[in-house]
Amino acid sequence: MAAAAGLEPALREAVAALERGAAGAAAALSALRTALAAAGGSAALGERERTLFGALLRSLARAPRAARPEGEWQRCFLEGPPGLGLCVLLEALASPGPSFHPSEAAEVLEQFLQEGRLSALMWDVCQQQAQAGSPELQEALLNKVVCLPDHVSNKLQGKNPPVFFPQNYFPLLGGAIIQVLQKISDSLRGGLDCSISFVSHVLGKVCVHGRQKEILGVLVPRLMDLTKSDCIWQRICWRLVECVPDRWMEAVVLGFVQRTPGADVLSRLLGNLVVKNKKAQFVVTQKLLLLQYCHTTAVLQNLLGYLALDGLRRPLLIKVLQELLETWGSSSAVKHSPPEQQQYISKAILICLSHLKEPEMESCRQELLTSMMEGVKCHLDSSLPQIRRLGMIVAESISSKINTDGPVLKFQYEEDDEARELKSLLVQSPPFCVVPSLPDDENEKAGAALPLVLESDKKSHTAAPVTPDEESDAELDSDDDLIPYDMSEDRELKTKAPVYIRDCIEVLTGSEDMDKWEATVKALESLVRKNPAATREVSVELAKILLHLEEKTCIEGFVELRQRAQVAVLTTDPIPVAKYLTSQFYSLNYSLRQRIDILDVLVLAARELSYPKSHEKTKHSGAQKPCIQLLPGSDSSKDWRRIVDERIKSKTRRFATGPSQGELASSPNQFSSVAGHFFFPLIQHFDRPLTTFDLLGEDHFVLGRLVHTLAVLMYLAVNTVAVTAMGKALLEFVWALRFHTDSYVRQGLLSCVSSLLLSVPAQHLLEDMTEELLEAQSWLGDVVEKDPDGDCRRLALQNLLLMENLKKKLEPVPS
């Protein structure tokens, strides 16, 4: 008590010495430091002494350099109350006096950090909170501690010391938090009260500023070790997170979920936070699962595994699964959410299923079955193959869980890495497989464990060697003693294909000879191309036969052979065959597969007609560069000049080859005169529903294919007479369907706009479609900002750039 009583006179003397500017300032400051140490440090200061100490520190910041004894004044900032020292230093840094340079304040702040005064500051506030300290002062200190790198860098303009870089400062702050938590642990073991609230506030504010990686990279590994077998440390860790204010809870919870190496560790660090805190429950069960989809599979496994590891949290797991299945089975969600989010929800459902126990499965079996039936229908109705396959995989998984003994659903789809990864989530992985960011020593253990498992599997699957005795027994047991015939010289008898088009029609419609039927299907394309005059006589009849032709035998590549024959017929006699095919597209009694076949044939034929006849030949002939090679034993002396000339020519770089280079053969664009016959009939009746065909209803997949077909036809019609009329009709078509709910259809509509902008001459666009283009530009801007599908946003942005380029192209060049 006597030592503490001597602090006030020492403080008053130091302040007076500084104001006088006398030579005794050094002695006064030294005496003050001695008295402070004798009293037990800055923690022994009362309210009156703290006020005096603050006045002293401000006097030091304002005093001339000569009046500040070197070495002594810095120690006053470092040994006094840490909160006061930090506040005064930052005030001096923000508005330095004529004799106090900002670099001096930065140097003392650097020492402040290096000597561990941050942990002393936080511990001081924790003790004050236990005694109901000033909330305003604590809020000010919180802002200064968390934003210290910003304060320093804003004043020093990039010349701040490395310790104030965020990547260095926040790990240091994490180490200071561990030191404070250690003091809190010792205090609790000693039976003393203290508050952890300020530390929680520091953690929350750092995380909400986006520095979870830096601070939790230090905190999480240390807390993992400290909470392994110590219940007091577990309580401290739980309390640390529970005291985070609600406005910062999401950032803290997400940081812990991302940084912990497994669900068991997360459960140890967070405890039953989601049961006690409504904000944390909303973040874990709603926001991270249903409103966001950017997190990794490891984060999902941590999150849902955490819910499954405690009896108090398992009801939340069931609730989460029900809400995920409700979203997965919603047709509106399937239509309007991007594929990435649907994949994310599918992964979450499979992980939830892997954690369900048998009694829980029994209680919600009927609900799972209902959700599965609704969800798989919505997914199979989608136009995107990825969405359909997701529905199949999830439905198979749910079926295998609810029907362990009976038959289960089974779909046919491509088994790739993505499908295998989704199926693997149905089985709970070993702990070392779900680590998102292990420390180095645990990474080595995990890496060592994996080869052992693989090696044991390899040994178990290796077949045992066959002994000679077993081989001899096998020979004796064999009853196949007959010597086989030598069939090496035998040849397969080939049926001769018809040589006339009408004979092909007879075989395809009425022949019972399957060998002859196969030979006809294989030879039909080349026969049509060799006999165009004969084909034109029966072109529509042949097109009808091919459209309805079904596979009678297991002929390899039947679909491709039939399609190539259809394309050959259409290119040989475009107008009547195109009229027939386009009329049948909107007719009754056709399957969706046949309607899609019509669209595919129209696209392939238009592409072939629009290219020059020599296109394929020139493409292949130009693929390989000529090379000169002397064969051994040849008489090279006779052709030496030719060889040298060829070598010089191959090595010479020419900017213009002149007439010596052979010009490519040109031919008229055959699609130019028939483009309207391909295009306009398809665009006429899309809004007229039939009994078995409704493009604007449930047959939106065919609508998507139709829209993409129109985009290709528009693109191939460049430089044709009808291109402007086609463009205007296509723009009206796009405008009518621009708000379609299916993303595949919207992608096709945006492709139509791209084709229109590339094919129609710019001058015609601005003369004939000015108002329509302005409206389309506004719509495209909305798509870029609001469309949930990434491909739609990309195509809309591409169209806006094309419009901008057209505008620049037509602007008058300044003279």
Residue with tokens 């030579």: 23
Q: Encode pLDDT of 175-187 as tens digits.
A: 999 999 999 999 8
Mean pLDDT for the stretch of residues 648-652: 55
Predicted confidence at residue 631, as pLDDT, reads: 36
Q: Are 285 and 304 in contact (CB under 8 A)?
A: no
109 Cβ partners below 8 Å, 6+ apart?
86, 89, 90, 93, 148, 152, 164
Q: Look at 1-15, 55-69, 612-626, 737-751 and tell me which has the smallest mean pLDDT.
A: 612-626
Task: Give pLDDT, residue 654.
Answer: 58
Q: How far is CA 249 from CA 214, 278, 304, 387, in A?
A: 17, 10, 18, 34
**Minimal CA–CA distance to 441: which of 582, 208, 246, 261?**
261
- Asked whether residue 442 carries a pLDDT value surpassing 80, the answer given is no
Please give the model's pTM, rounded to 2 decimal places.
0.72
pLDDT for the residue 100: 72
Instruction: Assess whether pLDDT exceeds 80 at residue 590.
Output: yes
Residue type, 338: P
Residue 681 is predicted with a pLDDT of: 92
Query: Looking at residue 718, what DSSP letter applies?
Result: T
Q: Would you identify the CATH topology of the domain 670-810?
A: Leucine-rich Repeat Variant (1.25.10)
Among candidate residues 606, 586, 262, 293, the one with its CA nearest the CA of residue 437: 262
Span 399-423, pLDDT tens digits: 988 887 778 888 888 888 888 999 8
Residues 703 and 595: their CA atoms lie apart, in Å, by 10
pLDDT at 795 over 60: yes
Q: Which of 323-327, 372-376, 455-459 has the lowest mean pLDDT?
A: 455-459
User: Model confidence over 63-113: pLDDT tens digits?
Assistant: 777 667 777 777 878 877 888 888 888 888 877 666 677 778 888 888 889
- C-beta atoms surrounding 212 within 10 Å: 22
Q: What is the distance between the alpha carbons of residues 251 and 254, in angstroms, rounded to a whole number? A: 5
pLDDT of residue 464: 41
Q: Is the pLDDT of residue 615 over 60?
A: no
Whether the CA torsion 679, 685, 691, 694 is positive or negative: it is positive
What CA–CA distance (Å, rounded) separates 358 from 310? 16
Residue type, 78: L
Chain-wide mean pLDDT for the chain? 81
Note the helical H segments in 289-414.
297-308, 314-328, 331-336, 339-355, 358-363, 365-380, 385-402
Question: With 50 as the cut, is the pLDDT of residue 621 above it?
Answer: no
User: What's the one-letter identity of residue 346?
Assistant: S
Q: Is 394 exposed, middle or buried (0-12, 13-18, 19+ CB in 10 A)?
A: buried
Provide CB contacts within 8 A for 34, sequence distance 6+: none
Whether the pLDDT of residue 173 is over 50: the answer is yes
- Binned at pLDDT 50, 70 and 90, residue 626 comes out as very low
Q: What is the mean pLDDT of residues 22-40?
A: 72
User: Under 8 Å CB-to-CB from 226, ≥6 apart: which residues?
Assistant: 233, 237
Closest to 204 in 3D by CA, of 155, 278, 139: 139
Kindly tell me if the per-residue pLDDT of 627 is higher than 80.
Answer: no
Highest mean pLDDT among 560-574, 622-636, 684-698: 560-574
CA-CA distances (angstroms) from residue 209 to 164, 199, 280, 307, 521? Answer: 16, 16, 18, 27, 69
Per-residue b or e along 623-649, where b marks 16 or more CB atoms closer than 10 Å to that residue's CB: eeeeeeeeeeeeeeeeeeeeeeeeeee
Per-residue pLDDT tens over the stretch 444-481: 443 443 333 333 343 334 344 444 444 444 444 445 56
**Nearest Cα residue to 242 out of 278, 192, 212, 193:** 278
Lowest-confidence region among 93-102, 251-260, 366-375, 608-617 = 608-617
Mean pLDDT across the stretch 588-614?
88
Q: What is the mean pLDDT of residues 489-513?
A: 75
Tell me the C-alpha distance between 296 and 783, whole Å.
27
Q: Using DSSP, state whether 364 is helix, strand or coil.
A: coil
DSSP 8-state symbol, 163: G
Mean pLDDT of 643-669: 56
Percent of the chain at pLDDT > 70 equals 80
pLDDT reading at 604 higher than 50: yes
Q: What is the 3-state secondary structure (H, E, C) of 205-219?
A: HHHHCCCHHHHHHHH
* Amino acid symbol at 744: Y
67 versus 355: the higher-pLDDT residue is: 355
Proportion of the chain above pLDDT 90, given as a percent: 39
- Confidence grade of residue 805 (pLDDT, cut at 50, 70, 90): confident
Closest Cα to residue 397, out of 429, 421, 430, 416? 421
Assess contact for 92 and 120: CB atoms under 8 A. no
Instruction: Specify the higher pLDDT residue, 273 or 38.
Output: 273
Residue 647 has a pLDDT of 52
**Length of the chain as a residue count:** 815
- Cβ atoms of 659 and 666 within 8 Å: the answer is no
Tokens 């178990």: give the residue.
460
Spatial contact of 29 and 23, defined as CB atoms under 8 Å apart:
no
Q: Measure CA 130 to chain center.
A: 46
Instruction: Name the H helices within 381-492.
Output: 385-402, 417-424, 440-461, 468-477
Exposed, middle or buried: residue 257 (CB in 10 Å: 0-12, 13-18, 19+)?
buried
Residue 483: pLDDT above 70? Answer: yes
3-state helix, strand, coil in the chain (%, to 5): 70, 0, 30
Amino acid at 55: A
CA gap 116, 173 in Å, rounded = 9
**pLDDT tens, residue by residue, 126-168:** 887 656 567 788 888 899 999 999 888 888 877 788 899 999 9
Q: What is the pLDDT, as a whole number, of residue 244?
A: 94
Q: Confidence band (pLDDT; 50, 70, 90) for 381?
A: confident
495 pLDDT tier (thresholds 50, 70, 90): low
Q: Residue ranges of the domains in the chain? A: 1-115, 313-424, 501-605, 670-810
